[in-house]
Amino acid sequence: MSFKRIIFWSHLVVGLATGVVIFILALTGVFLTYEMQIEGFFAPKVSPTVERAEMLSTDELIAIAQPVFKGQTATLDYYSDASKPLTVKAGRHDVRLIDPYSGSFIESGSNPTDGFFQFVEDLHRSLAMGFNSTGAQAVKVSNLAFLFIAVSGIYLWLPRRWKWPFIKQKIVFIRKAPTSKARDYNWHHVFSFWVLIPLIAVVGSGVVLSYQWANTLVFQAARLSVQQGRGMGRGMGKGMGKGMWARSTEAPDSALATDKLVTYQKIFEKARDVEAGWQVISFVLPNSEKAKTIDIVIDTGNGKQATAQQTVTYSRETGNVVKIKGPDEMATPTQSLRRYIRFLHTGEVYGVIGQTLAGIASLATLFMVWTGFALAWRRLIGPWFKPHAKVIDSTN
């Protein structure tokens, strides 16, 4: 058996063994493509009331937010869209919404899309069987298998001859294929050609997030210390924006008398002028009301793009900027790479364009799985159902 035949049969067998799970991953990936935008669209809105026409001051809102996640590093997030409620975040999952006009908390579950996307994410991560379940292991194995299928598919895609007629049938859709088999063969190769790069990025990053050994290989190749992670985890990076490494930097004994402190409201007004195109301004909640400094993360991106964020430290004694940290200073190289890989999987690291490419790769995968099964059926099962010609006895 030739080397190409070995690769072909390996590609086929692995595809048949994991194709159903890969199809589910791709389908849920399509649904999750614009999850962030859809959730934002259906999120609860806030507006002035007759009783309260103006927002509470930042000082009042911080006083409301501080007790929520006491003892944890938390942020209070303002959005450029004034119709959005403020959020208090601590870690990946702990999020509370605040109406900035009334100061009251908005009940969780008020977004009608929450239940739908939670179910889709559970399917995507564990086939809705739970974090450490057999379904979660099946997803990990299928993700790794899909990476093998994609890489082996590159070799199998190579045309027999590097001439246009042979290349054309693998990169251009044939409008009128002579047979359904020819159509499926054409679609399988054309889809794989055009989505190869985003597909490798999505699947490869998924493998790194799933397996510690893959994570170790990547960090060793980058000559960075290996970060022990929990794999894909329940959140799959959801909510891991600026708060991933936000820390309050004031020293324990650095305190001033309250009457000598510049108000948080005045500091917020200054922070708004740092970047005209800011999307989110996050106060890293201080450990003490008398803290000498306050850290503010200013984000001009979608919350997942480290290059669009900076941390500005303000003095509460003067209200002036003490320090500015750019993206390279906000995290260690290990943290930065880990974060990049996490949001490469969803495409969010490259904004809407990245999300769209990841979604297209997922959609194309549905066609590749379908055509792959169809071609395998014709090769392995179809011949058993074909009528056999009767042998005529010439002696009669």
Residues 203-226 pLDDT 10s: 999 999 999 999 999 999 988 887
The one-letter code for the residue type at 278 is W
pLDDT at 114: 85
Please count the other Cβ atoms lying within 10 Å of the Cβ belonging to residue 322: 16
Residue 243: per-residue pLDDT: 47
Determine what percent of the chain is predicted with pLDDT higher than 90: 69
From CA 222, how far away is CA 332, in angstroms rounded? 13
Q: Are 264 and 62 in contact (CB under 8 A)?
A: yes
231 or 375, which is more confident = 375
Angle (nearest 5°) at CA 258 between 253 and 261: 90
> Model confidence at 53, in pLDDT bands (50, 70, 90)?
confident
Instruction: Inform me whether the pLDDT recorded for 255 exceeds 60.
Output: no
Question: Is residue 303 a contact partner of residue 280, using CB atoms and an 8 Å limit?
Answer: yes
| 39-48, 286-295, 336-345: segment of lowest average pLDDT | 286-295
Provide the edge-to-edge strand list for the sheet that holds 280-284: 105-106, 94-98, 86-90, 75-79, 280-284, 293-299, 309-315, 321-325
Nearest-angstrom CA–CA distance, 308 and 310: 7
DSSP state of 331: S
What angle, rounded to 10 degrees, do the helices at 3-31 and 351-376 form?
130
From 326, 315, 250, select the one nearest 285 (Cα to Cα).
Answer: 250
| pLDDT score of 210 | 95
The residue assigned the tokens 């050609």 is 193
How crowded is residue 159: how many other Cβ atoms within 10 Å of its Cβ?
15
Whether the per-residue pLDDT at 383 is higher than 50: the answer is: yes
Eight-class DSSP state of 307: G
Alpha-carbon Rg for the chain in angstroms: 27
**Looking at residues 54-66, what average pLDDT do you find?**
93
Interval 311-334 mean pLDDT: 90
User: CA–CA separation, 119 vs 143, rounded Å?
Assistant: 19
Each residue of 290-317: b (16+ CB within 10 Å) or e? Answer: ebbbbbbbbbbbbbbbbebbbbbbbbbe
Decide if pLDDT at 250 tops 60: no
> Mean pLDDT across the stretch 37-63?
90
For residue 253, the Cα-to-chain-centroid distance in whole angstroms is 39
Could you tell me the maximum CA-CA distance found in the chain, to the nearest angstrom? Answer: 117
Amino acid, res. 229? G
How much is the mean pLDDT over the chain?
A: 88
Whether residue 92 has pLDDT greater than 90: no
Average pLDDT over residues 50-57: 87
Q: What is the pLDDT of residue 254?
A: 55
Spatial contact of 123 and 135, defined as CB atoms under 8 Å apart:
no
The structural domains of the chain, with segments of one domain joined by +, span 3-36+115-236+349-385, 242-344
Tokens 């208090």 label which residue?
88
Which DSSP symbol is given to 380?
Answer: I
> What global pTM score does this model have?
0.86
How far, in Å, CA of 99 to CA of 45, rounded?
Answer: 9
Say which residues have a Cβ less than 8 Å from residue 391's Cβ, sequence separation at least 6. none
| Least confidently predicted of 114-118, 125-129, 154-158 | 114-118
